[in-house]
Structure 1
Amino acid sequence: MPAHRLAPATLKLQDGIPYADAHGDNYHSAKGGLEQARHVFLGGNGLPQRWQGRRSFAILETGFGSGLNFLATWQAWRDDPERSAQLHYVAIEKHPFAASDLEKLHALWPQLQPLSAQLCAAWPPLVAGFHRLALDEGRIQLTLAFGDVADCLPEIQAAADAFYLDGFAPSKNPGMRAPQILSRLNRLAAPDATLATYGVTGDGRRALMQAGFLCQRPPRFRGKPQMLVARFAPRWQQPLRIPVQDRRAIVIGAGIAGCAACERLAARGWQVTLVERHAQPAREASGNIAGIVMPMMSRDGNQASRLARAAYLYAVAQWRQLGGIGAAFAGRQCGVLQLAHDAQQATLQRAALEELGLPADFVRWSEPADAAALTGNRASHGGWFFPQGGWVTPASLCEAMLSACGAKLLRLFCKGAASLERSGGIWMVRDEAGAEIASAPVVVVAGGIDGHRLPQTRSLPLDAIRGQVTHLSAASVKAPPLVICGDGYVTPEVQGICTVGATYDDDRETVLRRDSQEENLQRLAQLLPAAVTVTLGAELRGRVGFRCVTPDRMPLVGALPDADLPITGSRLRDVPRHPGLYGLMGYGSRGLIWAPFAAELLASMLEGAPLPIERSLVDVIDPARFALKAYRRG
């Protein structure tokens, strides 16, 4: 899915009805938008009856628009006592509205206001790509794909039980129901999936039939020239989607990765056992008193930056669900200023903002004068400011995530996992003496560099990079009001100190070193030249941790490869995997944003639910990618 800038929708009413200038058409029928949604899309798909008694039900909509179809569906789902336990709703939208405009639009339907308020409060910044929103205490999972349908549809990984083909009349927006689009829906259809739309061309109907849909024309909605419903009944045999029956999992490692995995699985009803060799969570790489929360930017919108952007936005949204930064756990959403090193980099940073067209609530430019006022550096060149960024104490966040699991979590601390054995579809975790610690059909290895010790993970190309953080009295550095970073970083006051760091050392020294301290203080002098009163001989205080990294600096998320079996082809799906064994590793120095996002992605994989990110980006973090590269090189 190519990186591109979004063109948001413009709020306009024509005779009291939302109108789209881009397509020259109304968002809904003049006879009643809510009635249209209920008749065409819910009624055309046999809802609410078809989701009743299900554990999960998935809907895919090709044009989110004002969100009226979604709100009508949500309302019908909430009002149904026989509803499914979980509702997944995936929607594509090329021209999304801003949250403030959605609020004005939804005022046309007062009966939907409680739901609209939740939606608008969770609405993401208007950034191209996929966004996962948790609504109704997590029972509604809304996945928004902001972009053109031709780009987004191939990137969706889902098994939809129902399709809403919306997106203006075919004559006004022909690309939305083009035959080449409709012919791809069979890849996304669950067995016996249904489809409804109020308009499709003859070529479009034939494309649906060739894709395996049986089409009918029911009584149309008033004011609409036609309506079509369909059922997926292909002549070819479909692969069966067998839901997980034994929903038990063991998570190895109680750092930020493992705790996030516990929270996301428990939220879906899994029974989780957490195995940790220390007496408390977050004792290794997650043990710093302050970690930085910020995305990664690139001018070309490459895959790494798009993944980091999605992870950052999901993490910030997920933490709101937990109760909020500074409330449910220690931290502050004070913003992060990423300074340009020189005038040339400042030019590149400004060009990236212009080309990507990112909204100000995601990132905006901080002028040199503003940056100088914050840093005391009159020669500042400005930089990127991320208003939703900040700092978090990882140990506090880990405890908040574990507490959210409630009775679904069993904590086994002071238990070191030394080996894994599988018998009869069940994994057994054993300690150094060979005694069984726990057993379950699914194991998630999230132990950072310690996860490399297991026989099944030794072939993974993981390495440890030493990082020393310096702790300074907040008074000695005149603590900044926000996180400032460039070649290093400095935080505001946290527990009476400012943290400065961090080094990247290729050794395994565990104690504090003077040379690493001096290196950090030199970074600090560049970031806050007028605010620093400490000298290079300051007292040696801080912490040493080891980042777990991969050769391409991207994490490992998903099913782990089995190095003892031969690879049978040139694609990732041809790499053999250990059944029921998954990894969440290699987060490097961005564990805070990777952890919630990767845990949500893995939980979606295990549930067979729609994925929260593009399929092509899932491949970028597949744990088998290095084995496949080695195989391709022969």
Structure 2
Amino acid sequence: MYPDKKKLSLGQIGLCDAQQLLSVILLQQKSLPDTRLYVKIFESDCSAVERINLQLAALQTQNQECEELAHADLSFGSGSYLDMQAAIKQLLDTKLVAIPGCQRLILNQGRCLIDLYLGDIHSSLTNILAPADPASYLHAWFHTSDQQSLDEQVLWQMAKVSSNTALLSSSYISQQQANLAQIAGFTLTDLTSADFLSTGSLLEASAPEKTDLPPVSAKLNNEISQQERRALRQAQANEFQHYPQLPAKEGTIAVIGGGIASTHLALSLAERNKTVQIFCQDAGFSQQASGNKQGAIYPLLTPDNGTLSQYFQQGLLFSRRRLTSLVDEGFNIANQLCGVLHTGHDERSRGRINRIISAQAWPKEIAHRVSAPEATSLASIDIDQEGVFYPLGGWISPPEFTQAAFDKAAKIADVSALFNANITRIEQNEGQWYLYQDSCSGSGSENDSDNEVKHGPFSTLVLANGHGLTQFEQSKLLPATGFRGQVSHIPARNELAKLTTVLCSHGYLTPSNDQLHCTGASYVKNPQDLDYCPNEQLDNLKKMQHSFEGKTWVDDIDITGHSARVGVRMVTRDHAPMLGCAPDTDLMLENYKQHQHTKASIQFWKNNPAPIHHGLFILGGLGSRGITTGPLAAEALAAQLCGEIIPLDMATLALLNPNRMWMRKLIKGKAL
């Protein structure tokens, strides 16, 4: 049934109940401990999430009561209750929220992945890219709701991402739908998801079909279904060829960088048992942009709740899940998920905030309006301004988040890091990548090659090196710009020490950690140096004074200690990160000389694959909210590198692709 015993992928139409989700977690632990289980659930009714959360809360209370009874009766034992309680806690910690798109839950220490797609089911399936690796096709589907119809279009989109021997089980399927399902290549079965999980390792290539259904020629069924599936996949690939999603080749994956992006990519790859070697130019992790003592985590919302806004919400939830799972496993990461309070600092900013919160019926867990008294109560200091509260936000220590991701990766797979490795150039030779390290910087030698250490070969190389992203010849034209940011460290004292939520206005201010608050940050394009700047320190103070005029606690902000940290974040014009294949800009510009500003040129760019550097990938441009966007970007890139179904839809992948700035123009016939 699934030849790769290390991976099993299932699909489900309809979100059942909390008990079923818990059974998936427990059955993976007990029946398939050596298998990485992927479960994709599609649900059109967003209110189902609230139902699940209420059920989980009730089950937690019920299970705790049963556990107490079990402890009282020593002959009964409490192991099963402890297992159930742990599974309930895992699901509660995921903070399921009714937002559109895919929410990825990584459970059982990376062995069980549940992707929840909320919204129109046909649209969700249509906008999933078929995986590059056939081993990642889905092996079985379960139709669990009479509210979700399996029409012909839905069945073929399910088939697009399914193996040729995929099973389909449904109690809500008509005879006509059964015929269509068989034509689409599904084998109909009475197995439940629990049956399949508990006996899946014993199944071979097929399962008994329902005998009450009309027979369909197996040979014809096979020919039609496979041809149609290939056609669907090819049409989708052709449509998306200007944003290629190619996987990595076999072998060690080299990653340049030493921050959030590189270490979280290493963790996501380690969970897939990949060998990773990180090259960091500094003596340790988090010496660059990810070295701030505290980093705010909250979503960037837009009035239209477009693709970027949706990605930020997905990223917020994913980062929270990474954080809570790492902390639960014993990794030390300072954090406070205390929420973020967003207020305006002038009429324009207040108007923008009001437009955002008024434009959508945002889930209360994502954002909700608060009155001036409510703002003061949330912050525990005098705010006296209305604003927007992001309840699931807060702050995290980026250095500890970075280190924990690497430590976990190194614990579960062959992941290593080479420090003080200043990679000055990269080169591809016969399909392999080589990295050249400056081993004797400043020696004055006339021959640069005398001072180089060569690393490689690597079939796959990922650039995740923050503000150094554009330092290489192959990446120098990537549309990202470095902005210096100075974050001021403020002693916790008097009224200020009472602050209990992150404040975001004209700048941000965090609750204290180790008797220090963080505030800032400055925003200087293309900085000439990273030295401490007294003027930027003063500007950070003025931002708070401007945002909260007349508040006595602002007088407690003391910058006289000149304590601060400076870093450079790479910012894209559209504020979206970059992940995916590295564009070959030299070849693109060469082609552009021959194909521009005509109808024929539009067809050329639409009908030909985008030029890329094969085996070279980009993960960067995280901007000033890298903690919010970085871990999910890393997970998505890891899925791409491993040929899996990527937990982002096509619109999001197009938005995040490093090619996007150029291809948007080229396929419309516009000038670069």
Bin the TM-score by the shorter chain. 0.7 to 0.9
- TM-aligned CA distance change 1:348 to 1:218, over 3 Å: same
Aligned AA (2:150):
R
Conserved in 1, the CA contact under 8 Å of 2:8 and 2:138?
A: yes
| Structure 1 position 322, deviation (Å) | 0.8
- How far apart, CA to CA, are the structure 2 residues paired with 1:481 and 1:216? 55
- How far apart, CA to CA, are the structure 1 residues paired with 2:288 and 2:501? 26
Residue 412 (1) aligns with residue 411 (2): no
Partner of 1:40: none
Aligned AA (1:556):
M
Partner of 1:213: 185
| Structure 1 position 384, deviation (Å) | 1.7
Per mean C-alpha deviation after superposition, the further-off stretch among 608-617 and 321-330 is: 321-330
| Structure 1 position 441, deviation (Å) | 1.8
- How far apart, CA to CA, are the structure 2 residues paired with 1:120 and 1:229? 45
- TM-aligned CA distance change 1:469 to 1:444, over 3 Å: same
Partner of 2:516: 497
Per mean C-alpha deviation after superposition, the further-off stretch among 519-528 and 618-627 is: 519-528
- TM-aligned CA distance change 1:489 to 1:117, over 3 Å: closer
- How far apart, CA to CA, are the structure 1 residues paired with 2:247 and 2:664? 32
Partner of 2:615: 580
State the SS of the aligned residue for 2:568: strand
Higher helix share: 2
- TM-aligned CA distance change 1:198 to 1:585, over 3 Å: same
Conserved in 2, the CA contact under 8 Å of 1:60 and 1:163?
A: yes
- How far apart, CA to CA, are the structure 1 residues paired with 2:300 and 2:294? 18
Partner of 1:141: 113
Q: Which deviations, in whole Å up to 9, do the C-alpha atoms of 1:593-633 show, x marking residues without a partner?
A: 12211111111111222222222111100111123135342
Aligned AA (1:484):
L
Conserved in 1, the CA contact under 8 Å of 2:18 and 2:55?
A: no
| Structure 1 position 399, deviation (Å) | 1.4
- TM-aligned CA distance change 1:397 to 1:537, over 3 Å: closer
State the SS of the aligned residue for 1:549: strand
Aligned AA (1:404):
K
- How far apart, CA to CA, are the structure 2 residues paired with 1:540 and 1:242? 48
Partner of 2:579: 557
Per mean C-alpha deviation after superposition, the further-off stretch among 523-532 and 393-402 is: 523-532
The equivalent position to 1:269 in structure 2, one of 263, 270, 273, is 273
| Structure 1 position 183, deviation (Å) | 2.9
The equivalent position to 2:544 in structure 1, one of 524, 529, 548, is 524
Partner of 2:91: 119
- How far apart, CA to CA, are the structure 2 residues paired with 1:377 and 1:347? 24
Partner of 1:446: 464
Residues 202-601 of structure 1 aligned to structure 2 (within 5 Å): 202-208=175-181, 212-213=184-185, 233=222, 234-236=225-227, 238=230, 246-323=250-327, 328-341=332-345, 349=353, 352-353=356-357, 356-372=360-376, 380-406=384-410, 408-432=414-438, 433-475=451-493, 478-479=496-497, 480-509=499-528, 510-528=530-548, 529-533=551-555, 538-566=560-588, 569-571=604-606, 574-601=609-636
| Structure 1 position 478, deviation (Å) | 1.9
Residue 85 (1) aligns with residue 44 (2): no
Q: Which deviations, in whole Å up to 9, do the C-alpha atoms of 1:43-92 show, x marking residues without a partner?
A: xxxxxxx24652322111111222565555555544446x7631111001
- TM-aligned CA distance change 1:612 to 1:227, over 3 Å: farther
- How far apart, CA to CA, are the structure 2 residues paired with 1:228 and 1:388? 52
- TM-aligned CA distance change 1:269 to 1:359, over 3 Å: same
| Structure 1 position 449, deviation (Å) | 1.7
Partner of 1:152: 124
- How far apart, CA to CA, are the structure 2 residues paired with 1:178 and 1:502? 53
State the SS of the aligned residue for 1:613: coil
Conserved in 1, the CA contact under 8 Å of 2:493 and 2:556?
A: no
Aligned AA (1:436):
K
- How far apart, CA to CA, are the structure 2 residues paired with 1:494 and 1:149? 44
| Structure 1 position 312, deviation (Å) | 0.7
- How far apart, CA to CA, are the structure 2 residues paired with 1:430 and 1:572? 36
- TM-aligned CA distance change 1:75 to 1:579, over 3 Å: same
- How far apart, CA to CA, are the structure 2 residues paired with 1:613 and 1:590? 19
- TM-aligned CA distance change 1:522 to 1:344, over 3 Å: closer
Aligned AA (2:464):
A
Identity percentage of aligned residues: 23
State the SS of the aligned residue for 1:177: coil
State the SS of the aligned residue for 2:117: strand
- How far apart, CA to CA, are the structure 1 residues paired with 2:625 and 2:24? 37
TM-score, normalised on structure 1? Answer: 0.81
Conserved in 1, the CA contact under 8 Å of 2:25 and 2:108?
A: no
Conserved in 2, the CA contact under 8 Å of 1:103 and 1:117?
A: no
| Structure 1 position 324, deviation (Å) | 5.4
| Structure 1 position 366, deviation (Å) | 2.5
| Structure 1 position 201, deviation (Å) | 3.4
| Structure 1 position 218, deviation (Å) | 7.3
- TM-aligned CA distance change 1:327 to 1:476, over 3 Å: farther
The equivalent position to 1:177 in structure 2, one of 145, 150, 153, is 150
Residue 65 (1) aligns with residue 42 (2): no
- TM-aligned CA distance change 1:140 to 1:536, over 3 Å: closer
Q: Which deviations, in whole Å up to 9, do the C-alpha atoms of 1:555-590 show, x marking residues without a partner?
A: 111111122334684459821222221111101101
- How far apart, CA to CA, are the structure 1 residues paired with 2:410 and 2:572? 33
Partner of 1:101: 55
- How far apart, CA to CA, are the structure 2 residues paired with 1:89 and 1:205? 23
Q: Which deviations, in whole Å up to 9, do the C-alpha atoms of 1:397-451 show, x marking residues without a partner?
A: 2111111122522211011112222344432211233421343222111101212
How many residue pairs match? The answer is 577
Aligned AA (1:554):
A
Partner of 2:201: none
Q: Which deviations, in whole Å up to 9, do the C-alpha atoms of 1:161-181 show, x marking residues without a partner?
A: 234242433xxx3x6212222
Aligned AA (1:493):
S
Conserved in 2, the CA contact under 8 Å of 1:478 and 1:531?
A: yes
TM-score, normalised on structure 2? Answer: 0.77
- TM-aligned CA distance change 1:332 to 1:197, over 3 Å: same
State the SS of the aligned residue for 1:554: coil
State the SS of the aligned residue for 2:277: strand
* Structure 1: gaps spanning 5 or more residues: 1-49
- TM-aligned CA distance change 1:475 to 1:139, over 3 Å: same
State the SS of the aligned residue for 1:443: strand
- How far apart, CA to CA, are the structure 1 residues paired with 2:382 and 2:6? 60
- How far apart, CA to CA, are the structure 2 residues paired with 1:67 and 1:596? 26
Q: Which deviations, in whole Å up to 9, do the C-alpha atoms of 1:322-359 show, x marking residues without a partner?
A: 11599621222222111134678667756755653333
- TM-aligned CA distance change 1:180 to 1:517, over 3 Å: same
Aligned AA (2:138):
D
Conserved in 2, the CA contact under 8 Å of 1:197 and 1:227?
A: no
- How far apart, CA to CA, are the structure 2 residues paired with 1:338 and 1:189? 44
| Structure 1 position 243, deviation (Å) | 8.7
Partner of 1:24: none
Conserved in 2, the CA contact under 8 Å of 1:199 and 1:226?
A: no
- How far apart, CA to CA, are the structure 2 residues paired with 1:453 and 1:105? 53
Aligned AA (1:258):
S
- TM-aligned CA distance change 1:382 to 1:573, over 3 Å: farther
State the SS of the aligned residue for 2:553: coil
- How far apart, CA to CA, are the structure 1 residues paired with 2:162 and 2:506? 48
Conserved in 1, the CA contact under 8 Å of 2:164 and 2:185?
A: no
Q: Which deviations, in whole Å up to 9, do the C-alpha atoms of 1:306-329 show, x marking residues without a partner?
A: 111111110001111111599621
Partner of 1:187: 160
State the SS of the aligned residue for 1:380: coil
